[in-house]
Structure formats: C-alpha cells, structure tokens
C-alpha cells in the first residue's frame, strides 16, 4: 500500500497547542506541504506573529523568528533584504496584521517587498480571549461587543485583500478559506503560488485565509465552519484580487 | 482497500474528520479517553473506506495517515 497522506516533513512532532477544531493546524500543514513540495525547507525563514500562532516556531522545522506585535512584515523585510536567497514568509492573524500591524502590512505591500504573507482572518482576537478585531463582522458578539459590533460606534470591518489590491505595489493578493475540503485544496494552491512568486522574484504576495475560532465564537468546530460559509464568506468573498503576472486586478 | 491510521493520543476529538468523511466511516469514541483527556476519533467501518483522505485534509492536528 502506498501512503496517500501523511504529516509533512516540514512540521515537527510537537503537538499543536491550538484548541480542538482550530483551523490554524490546517493552515500550518498547508504551508509545510508547500515548503516540502518546493524543496525549500533548508532556506525558508518564517516570521511568527503575536497571537494564537505565536508559538509557530515550535511547529516548523525551518528557521523561525518571532516578531513584535504586528511587525512581522517589517522583520521579514529586513531578513529578505539581508538574505535575498532565502525564502521569507510571515504567518499572521487578523489582530496582528490588520490592527496593530496595518502600517507595516500596507507599506511592505506598497514597496512590493519580495516576501510571502499568510494572513489568517478569523474575525476575532483569539489568544487574548475573544475581543473584537478590525475584521469582526457587523453585529458579531465578542467579549468587547457583547451586544454585537455596532458599526456606528466601531466602524466597519476591514477587507484587507480588497484594500491592498488597490495599491500598485503587490504582485499577488488572494483570499481563500479552509472551511471544507475543496476550499482547503484551493487554499494550498494559492499559498504555493505565493511562495513561487517569491522564488521567481516577483514581489509581495499575500494570501488571506478565512478561518474560524470555535472557542471564542462559542461554537462547536462543525458549527464554526458552517458560520464561515454562511456569515463570513458573504462579507469576505473568496477570490484573487490582484495577480500582476496574470493581468488580474489593477 | 484503504487503511487509515490515527495518532490517537494527539487527537483532540474535534470531529472535523467525522464530518468530512463522505462514506461516514469515522466516529468519535465517546466511551474512551486519550492521553490528553479527549474522546478520540476512530475508524468505525474500515470496509467502507475509499482512501480519499478527506479526513486527513480537514484534521487540524495532522494525526491521520492514509494508505491505499
């Protein structure tokens, strides 16, 4: 019998500390599979965020560094400019990338830094206990919006992919989801493309992965993935928002 | 015939593999606890398994190996 599916070699044996049913594990695995397939384990350098994925450095076998909150694209910029032959990626959540790290994200995209950004959007601050994030949906109940997000008071959630796609800078901006098998397979294709762009020297690639947070949404893992389909994807549609080499987007 | 192996002690019993299985082969062992204290997933009907690896694709903890 041939092995059809096994744990990728670029993941360590350490058990994930994530809550049961948290799609972070799926997204870690997709990144590791892409690193395996491209044969870049020896020269990949990952930048971990502050957030639930703060300990991502325990899980990948490639070199990893932990950046201050939101500063992963700035740290990755420095690494890539010093070591242009290495493949540098960041792995960030929505609290990290879209809130405190928005400036670093927008400017590294505008400069078209040759890095890969994996952006996990689960519409909430996970690690700190479920506070409202810049990506929380209108009416979404969180610890800091117990009556639901009031857009008159808190503003509207930010669609990061659409916003970055308006810039001249970035090479590739896409949004994917991991709520079912089909979307997971498509997410892997987008992540692979983002790494290939960097290897080919094309520039800034960002893949926004619409994820779930069963614990802080107060749902079962199954219900959380259904909520992604019914509530998140209508506000955050899947798609390629910018692909300069293919001539899509601006 | 396909063979699905679980690293049972790493399972957190989230059940995403059970929902992903198109042949309803998998189940959660409600009467058992693993090292972590979760009720783990297990293969209930091995003869129905087609080795599609959908369970492993959705497993957030990378505990499933599929052979075919």
**B66 touching A (Cβ < 8 Å):** yes
Taking residues A207-220, report their average pLDDT.
97
The span from the CA of A14 to the CA of A6, in Å, is: 15
Q: What pLDDT was estimated at residue A82?
A: 97
Q: What is the pLDDT of residues A150-159, one digit of tens each?
A: 999 999 999 9
Closest CA in chain B for residue A32: B62
**Distance in Å, alpha carbon of A127 to nearest chain B alpha carbon:** 17
B65 and A15: CB-CB below 8 Å? no
**B8 touching A (Cβ < 8 Å):** no
Q: What pLDDT was estimated at residue A246?
A: 83
Chain A residues whose C-beta is within 8 A of a chain B C-beta are 1-8, 11, 15-16, 18-26, 29, 180-181, 184-185, 214, 220-222, 225
Q: Where are the domains of chain A?
A: 24-242
Closest CA in chain B for residue A5: B66
Among B12, B60, B63, most A C-beta atoms within 10 A, so best to mutate, is: B60
Burial group, residue B47, by CB count within 10 angstroms (0-12, 13-18, 19+):
exposed
The span from the CA of A241 to the CA of A141, in Å, is: 29
Q: What pLDDT was estimated at residue A249?
A: 61
Taking residues A200-216, report their average pLDDT.
97
Q: What is the pLDDT of residues A84-132, one digit of tens each?
A: 999 999 999 999 999 999 999 999 999 999 999 999 999 999 999 999 9
Q: What pLDDT was estimated at residue A130?
A: 94
Q: What is the pLDDT of residues A17-52, one digit of tens each?
A: 999 999 999 999 999 999 999 999 999 999 999 999
Instruction: Report CA A113 to chain centroid distance, whole Å.
Output: 17
Closest CA in chain A for residue B63: A7
Taking residues B39-46, report their average pLDDT.
96
Q: What is the ipTM of this complex?
A: 0.96
Domain spanning A24-242: CATH superfamily: Thiamin diphosphate (ThDP)-binding fold, Pyr/PP domains (3.40.50.970)
Confidence of residue A248 (pLDDT cuts 50, 70, 90): low
Which of A1, A11, A20 is facing B14, going by the closest CB pair? A20
Q: Which residues pair with B64 in a beta bridge?
A: B6
**Distance in Å, alpha carbon of A181 to nearest chain B alpha carbon:** 6
Which CATH number is B11's domain given?
3.30.70.20
Confidence of residue A133 (pLDDT cuts 50, 70, 90): very high
Could you give phi then psi for residue A233, rounded to 5 degrees? Answer: -65, -30
The span from the CA of A41 to the CA of A43, in Å, is: 6
Taking residues B55-62, report their average pLDDT.
97
- Give the Cα-Cα-Cα angle B63, A191, A79 (nearest 5 degrees): 105
Residue B36 is part of which domain span? 3-67
For chain B, how many structural domains are there in total?
1
Is pTM, for the whole model, over 0.80?
yes
Closest CA in chain A for residue B64: A6
**Distance in Å, alpha carbon of B65 to nearest chain A alpha carbon:** 5
pLDDT > 60? residue A250: no
Residues of chain A positioned with their CB less than 8 A from the CB of B61: 15-16, 18, 25
| % pLDDT > 70, chain A | 99
Average pLDDT of chain A to the nearest whole number: 96
């Amino acid at each position: 019998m041939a092995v059809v599916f096994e744990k990728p070699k670029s993941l360590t044996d350490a058990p994930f500390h994530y809550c049961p049913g948290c799609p972070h594990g799926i997204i870690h695995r997709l990144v590791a599979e892409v690193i395996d397939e491209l044969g870049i384990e020896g020269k990949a350098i990952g930048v971990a965020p502050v957030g639930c994925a703060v300990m991502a450095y325990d899980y990948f076998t490639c070199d990893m560094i932990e950046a201050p909150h939101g500063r992963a694209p700035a740290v990755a910029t420095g690494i890539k400019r010093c070591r242009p032959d290495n493949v540098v990626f960041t792995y960030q959540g929505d609290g990290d990338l879209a809130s405190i790290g928005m400036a670093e994200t927008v400017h590294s995209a505008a400069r078209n830094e040759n890095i890969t950004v994996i952006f996990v959007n689960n519409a909430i601050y996970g690690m700190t206990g479920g506070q409202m994030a810049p990506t929380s949906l209108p009416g979404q109940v969180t610890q800091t919006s117990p009556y639901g997000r009031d857009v008159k008071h808190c503003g509207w959630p930010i669609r990061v992919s659409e916003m970055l796609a308006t810039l001249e800078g970035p090479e590739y901006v896409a949004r994917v989801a991991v709520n079912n098998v089909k979307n997971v397979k498509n997410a892997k294709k987008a992540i692979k493309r983002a790494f290939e762009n960097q290897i080919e020297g094309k520039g800034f690639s960002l893949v926004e992965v619409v994820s779930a947070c069963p614990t802080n949404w107060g749902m079962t893992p199954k219900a959380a993935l259904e909520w992604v389909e019914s509530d998140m994807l209508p506000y955050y549609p899947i798609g390629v928002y910018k692909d300069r080499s293919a001539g899509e987007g601006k | 015939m396909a063979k699905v192996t679980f690293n049972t002690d790493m399972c957190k019993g989230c059940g995403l593999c059970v929902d992903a299985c198109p042949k309803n082969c998998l189940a959660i062992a409600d009467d058992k606890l693993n090292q972590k204290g979760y009720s783990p997933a297990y293969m209930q009907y091995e003869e129905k398994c087609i080795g599609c690896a959908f369970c492993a694709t959705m497993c957030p903890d990378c505990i499933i190996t599929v052979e075919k």
